[in-house]
Amino acid sequence: MQRPLPTGRRLLRGKRRPIWIQGFTIMALLLAMGQRAQAAPESANEYSVKAAFLFHFAQLTTWPPRIFTSTGSPLVFCTIGKDPFGGVLDSAVENKIVQGHPAKVLHLKQVIGLEGCHLLFIGTQEMPRMPAIIAALHGLPVLTVGEADEFLKQGGMIDFRSQDDRLRFDVNLEAAQSSNLAFSSTLLSLARTITR
């Protein structure tokens, strides 16, 4: 690559200028902006935002009508294993009405009683149990939402993805349809990718 050089390095005689003013103008502007903008609270804890997403997902999903025995029967959000929301989901959706049904949150410890859920969140920690969960659901109309890389491949329906520090989600439409769930076009139009 590098062989002996034909000429020696020459010393340079360049002009030195005083410190450039423009850099400081921009610095001053930035600092000024910094002072103005401190109030805007547009970032939030990951799981607070995910909880709000779940609320919207529930609003934008159609369950088969027969699974709600009456208009007063609750729409149940479930987590499994250790609650990754740390109670945030409970406070976000309780006392709210989703599609005419009061929202309720259940924290399941084991893969038992999944048929009582309408929406089930499966955190990254619970991915080893994913095959057991999918087997237990066996086509029941339960909307599964996850956050792991392989979630959709393992049969999940909506998968949270993080992109540039913002939340996105991918949708596995095939899995939802085979469980008799339908998504609104609003939900689908916001999905990053859709597997059909």
Dig out the tokens for 32 from the structure: 């000024």
In the complex, the smallest distance separating the C-beta of residue 7 from other proteins, rounded to whole angstroms, is 6
Please tell me the distance from the alpha carbon of residue 43 to that of residue 49, in angstroms, as a whole number: 9
In the complex, the smallest distance separating the C-beta of residue 32 from other proteins, rounded to whole angstroms, is 7
Please tell me the distance from the alpha carbon of residue 44 to that of residue 49, in angstroms, as a whole number: 7
Site size for other proteins, by CB under 8 A? Answer: 68
Contacts of other proteins in 138-177 (CB under 8 A): 149-150, 152-153, 162-168, 170
Task: Say if residues 158 and 144 touch (Cβ distance below 8 Å).
Answer: yes
In the complex, the smallest distance separating the C-beta of residue 112 from other proteins, rounded to whole angstroms, is 28
Contacts of other proteins in 64-123 (CB under 8 A): 92-93, 96
Q: Nearer to other proteins by C-beta: 154 or 179?
A: 154
Sequence-distant (6+) residues with CB within 8 A of 104 are 74, 75, 76, 77, 94
Select from 88, 97, 104 the least CA-distant residue to 52.
88
Binding site for other proteins (CB under 8 A): 1-16, 19-20, 22-24, 26-27, 29-34, 36-46, 48-49, 51-53, 55-56, 60, 92-93, 96, 149-150, 152-153, 162-168, 170, 186-187, 190, 193, 195
